[in-house]
Chain A
């Protein structure tokens, strides 16, 4: 039975269906169903990958899923499912408040599955060219989502996002083209293939100078989309101005999908040039992002921008994990991707609830004592914040420790110390800022139209999954992650 094609097609069909549907309820339901199906298909794929050769290909290798792709497929589908669960009630409140028009809500339910479909194509495409245009497609479908509220500020955010994103992607395309050119052999008459697996199999014969230049272009290009500093300037704007479900998708998976694309080139470059070149660059950009994010977290006044900078910091840590390039840190970074994808959407969902009740994101205006007004939301947000800052018993503690531990064990004292300092700063910043608004006695009297259970199913799903996988990683998942770490660590994929 085919698995990869259905994973790609299901969200696209849902988008088409939503385009034709009239009722908002039906559209929300279609989204939930579609992402439910992709989660199931993802699990199916996970199980199929257990058997050798541990690679699934379809359409004559046009689509290809190895352990790394499967890990990404699972993250994308779970976060999309959570988002779809949250979005229905969120937009119902927005419509009641008159913040959006029904047309825009429809736009959301059509574009979100397309966005997801694009991300699936990024991680399942074998050809690096197809991967590029799939990433461009995700950027284009999400930019209208960022602009959904049509406020001055959201248009500004969307403009920055699309201009910077497109520039970045143009650079990435240049790098992709160079990678392709690096593999062309003058004498061979065999039609050249753009497939990643093919390029990997001939990594030794690629033109090393071209690969080197290509990686620099791709790093800057896809790095922009992944939000790495100093190309991150679109990130806090887009995350804070987008509707909360979209913020959750952008932060939870979209950044990581761009990182995935970067990783594919990293693996190829490492196979061609040896491990020194690309991992050093990843390390530098990762550390830069972490160090830049920390001060912004400490002085931030806007709730969703705070969360966005926290995402920047986590992406930085993931990059550092890959950059350190030991088996342990790579494994930790992969784990961190997963736990962060489960945690950050919860924070954005809760921030969305707070936004809709207080009509502002300025933490000074929100004021203390949210716990009295919306206890369940605050409990979820508190738990997720504790998780995101890397406290036990949540998985992020474990993955951060793994990366740090691996770093120290491999003798990277300076890097690991910087990482530790940045993590501590972010830890203090986030907990300090959030306790000020969540706890305490309310100073502003507010009436809320929120039902107590708003967003709780979605937040509960993500938090529940986080807790379960924090204490127990099922054997098939463990296998896939170790295999994925092996792929990145330079071991052959089969």
Chain B
């Protein structure tokens, strides 16, 4: 099947990728945990939509699988799991981040620039959605920043998940047909298990330290 409107697909993908980036920036400045979790769910939904568009225009059946798994896992299951944990622990708000929001925003602007500079040599390739590589690298960098900037264990888990979203976006952007299904499945299950293990640890940390503030984890030195 010939792609009906490659132009439209390309623009849709660019739009959605830009949406993912905007959501990431919102997460950087947003302090409410539950809102952050919802933002992450929305970001994952956009990732799934990108995968679905690519699957449709390349008629690649197994990329639909990727889209479906993302919806099931990252849009519904993980956000549900994390918000349940947040409610159970009755911690709604992130404490003051290391860097205030305007400085964070400025820094993330820098990351975006850097992402596009790194991605530039590869955007000349003639592939659907390759212009999203810059966004993917930016998601990676801002995810790292989010992790170091926040002290609540749950926010760190969310940051890790956005890094994951960035990598998956890169996978979609770079590889045309997505990766082999067995690899995608493996990655999917690993992410699910990782969040469960992290959740278990958060729970134990909360029980032992009566806090979810990871900056209290600082006894081991040297």
Contacts and interface: CB of A to CB of B under 8 A. Distances in A.
Interface of A: 127, 129-130, 132-134, 136-137, 140, 143-144, 147, 150-153, 155-160, 162-163, 166-167, 170-171, 173-174, 177-178, 180-181, 184, 186, 192-194, 209-210, 213, 236-237, 240-241, 296, 299-302, 305
A177 B175 CA distance: 8
Interface string B170-183: 11001111011011
Interface in B61-92: none
Given A129-B180, A147-B204, A167 B147 contact: yes
Contact of A170 (B126, B156, B164, B217): B164
Contacts of B176: 184
Contact of A180 (B166, B175, B190): B175
Q: Rank and list the top 3 A-B pairs by shortest CB-CB distance, nearest first.
A: A129-B183, A133-B186, A181-B174
A241 B187 CA distance: 28
A240 B221 CA distance: 11
Query: For the complex, would chain B's binding face be called helix, strand, loop or mixed by DSSP majority?
Result: helix
Contacts of B205: 155, 159
A145 to B, nearest CB: 11
Interface string B183-220: 10011011001100110110011001100001001111
Nearest to A129: B183
Nearest to A171: B140
A299 B177 CA distance: 53
B4 interface: no
A223 to B, nearest CB: 16
A178 B127 CA distance: 14
Interface of B: 118, 121-122, 125-127, 140, 144, 147, 153, 156, 160, 163-164, 166-167, 170-171, 174-177, 179-180, 182-183, 186-187, 189-190, 193-194, 197-198, 200-201, 204-205, 208-209, 214, 217-220, 222
Contact of A143 (B175, B177, B201, B220): B201
Contacts of A302: 222
Contacts of B126: 186
Contact of B174 (A132, A144, A178): A178
A174 B164 CA distance: 9
A103 B122 CA distance: 52
A157 B180 contact: no
B190 A136 contact: yes
Contacts of A184: 175-176
Nearest to A137: B190
14 contacts: A127-B180, A130-B182, A130-B186, A133-B187, A137-B190, A143-B201, A144-B197, A153-B219, A156-B217, A160-B217, A170-B140, A177-B170, A236-B220, A237-B220
